Amino acid sequence: MARRRQIYEGKAKILYEGPEPGTLIQYFKDDATAFNAQKKGTINGKGVINNRISEFVFTRLSHIGIPTHFIRRLNMREQLIRQVEIIPLEVIVRNVAAGSLSKRLGIEEGELLPHTLLEYCYKDDSLGDPLVSEEEIACFNWCSHEELQDMASMAIRINDFLSGMFAAIDIKLVDFKLEFGRIWDGDYSRVILADEISPDGCRLWDINTGEKLDKDRFRRDLGGESEAYQEVARRLKLLQDDDNGPGEVLDMSAHRSRLRSPVKPKK
């Protein structure tokens, strides 16, 4: 088999040249990072789980009219995606105070926000992905006003859909990040959802216990990272296909007790 040409390697994924013009192959790694790669490690089977969860979420978002880069899953760790020009912004969608918001503003973690909050971060690891304003986005022309409006509108729709989807399986969607890209048709471009949606980029808490089912288990040295990711996939009913290879994706029934340090919900 001819060696594929690597286009890009990030903290959690590798992009390879796709089989057709305008396509890429997205490979999900088990590597885990936190605090802008200051903390590094491995979560066994994470790439497999994130591939399946992201496929599931992107497919369902396409059903409600959200355009995405996802074409199809190729195997346990790879997806075929559209090649896009990534907009250098992360859109952070917050429903509950947590993480950097709590630290920055002194709001107790777990406090429900008065309304959904959108934040924007400039994608630059060397700068720590700093928070930026809409005025700064316009000043430095990272995207047009129309593109920013499109991203904000899609982010709100995605949040509404995912909040309901996760609530149905007793998971609270606390916050999550989105990335968008441009696809071109001659001189005309449009914005579509890119990257991934998985426990790597979402805060997901068990509604009944407050138990963390996301990368905060790695960030905060809580342990049970693999089991938490698998629990999300299990609740989404993604661990029943025959292609779940041994040692990669396991049935959670024997492992749920290994999750520890739950946070009790506020009364």
User: Got the DSSP string for 58-112?
Assistant: HHHHHHTT--BSEEEE-SSSEEEEE--EEEEEEEEEEEE--HHHHHHHTPPTTPE
pLDDT number for residue 207: 98
pLDDT value of position 256: 42
Q: 54: closest CA among 65, 42, 40, 70?
A: 70
pLDDT band, residue 264 (cuts 50/70/90): very low
Mean pLDDT of 208-219: 97
**Binning pLDDT at 50, 70 and 90, where does residue 52 land?**
very high
266 CB-contact burial (10 Å; exposed 0-12 / middle 13-18 / buried 19+): exposed
As a whole number of angstroms, the distance between CA 226 and CA 218 comes to: 10
List pLDDT tens digits, range 99-112. 999 999 999 999 99
The helix/strand/coil state of 221 is coil
Q: Collect all residues with Cβ–Cβ distance below 8 Å to 223 and sequence separation of at least 6.
A: 217, 258, 259, 260, 261
Taking alpha carbons only, the member of 266, 243, 254 closest to residue 76 is 243
State phi, psi for 149 to the nearest 5 degrees. Answer: -65, -40
Q: What's the pLDDT at 4? A: 87
- Minimal CA–CA distance to 214: which of 34, 90, 73, 58? 34
Q: What is the pLDDT of residues 111-142, one digit of tens each?
A: 999 999 999 999 998 999 999 999 999 999 99
pLDDT given for residue 35 in this prediction: 79
pLDDT of residue 240: 63
pLDDT tier at 2 (50, 70, 90 boundaries)? low
Evaluate whether 78 touches 26 at the Cβ level (below 8 Å). Answer: yes
Q: What average pLDDT score do residues 226-238 get?
A: 97
- 142 DSSP assignment: S
**Mean pLDDT over each residue of the chain, to the nearest integer:** 90
pTM for the model stands at: 0.88
Res 49: pLDDT: 97
- Mean pLDDT score, 35-48: 88
Burial label for 131, CB within 10 Å (0-12, 13-18, 19+), is middle
Per the model's pLDDT, the better-predicted residue between 40 and 38 turns out to be 40
Measured distance CA(161)–CA(154) in Å, rounded: 11
Q: Does the pLDDT of residue 248 top 50, yes or no?
A: no
Q: Which residue type does 248 have?
A: E
Query: Residue 257 pLDDT more than 80?
Result: no
Are 61 and 68 within 8 A, CB to CB?
Answer: yes
pLDDT, tens digit (0-9, with 9 covering 90-100), for 174-207? 999 999 999 998 889 999 999 999 999 999 999 9
Residue bearing tokens 């200051």: 38
